[in-house]
Amino acid sequence: MTFTIAGAMPRKKYTESSFGERLQNLRKSRGLTQVQLAEAAATTQRAVSYYETEAGFPPAPAIISLAQALQVSTDELLGLKPPKAVPAEDDPEARRQWKRFQMIATLPERDQKAVVRLIHSLVAGSSLRKNTSTQTGDRHGR
């Protein structure tokens, strides 16, 4: 029986969907530095760098804190679901609106449902006015 020993261990190849790349992409898409993310997640910049460079995988409580700080689900952070799109940094108005929308997620569930009901009623009212104006032949919606 013959044994051969490799000269070196093969390097682990990370795909684009590796945890570290996902973490870094999410952080950058939200316009955060490692220090800002670390403060928001109650950890250190060194830990964020460690996770981003694939030197180590964070423990479960750190994953939860990072997901909350990045305003994504843990499923999105872990790559089980695709992350929600974020407006480009060169579109400040879209980013402002996106941030306002993301603030809804921080509300209690009861208030979130109230916001959804309000949006549904506004959309329904808008489509009702649109249908009424087209039936009367008024093109300006008055």
Please report, for the domain that includes residue 48, its CATH number. Answer: 1.10.260.40
Domain count, the chain: 2
pLDDT tens, 22-50?
999 899 888 889 999 999 999 999 999 99
Q: pTM of this prediction?
A: 0.53
The residue segments making up the domain with residue 108 are: 92-135
pLDDT, tens digit, 9 for 90 and up, residues 75-95: 989 988 887 766 666 677 876
The pLDDT value recorded for residue 15 is: 42
Residue 126 lies in a domain: yes
In a domain, 3, yes or no: no
Q: Give the 3-state secondary structure of the chain.
A: CCCCCCCCCCCCCCCCCCHHHHHHHHHHHCCCCHHHHHHHCCCCHHHHHHHHCCCCCCCHHHHHHHHHHHCCCHHHHHCCCCCCCCCCCCCHHHHHHHHHHHHHHHCCHHHHHHHHHHHHHHHHHHHHHHHHHHHCCCCCCC
Both 99 and 126 in one domain: the answer is yes
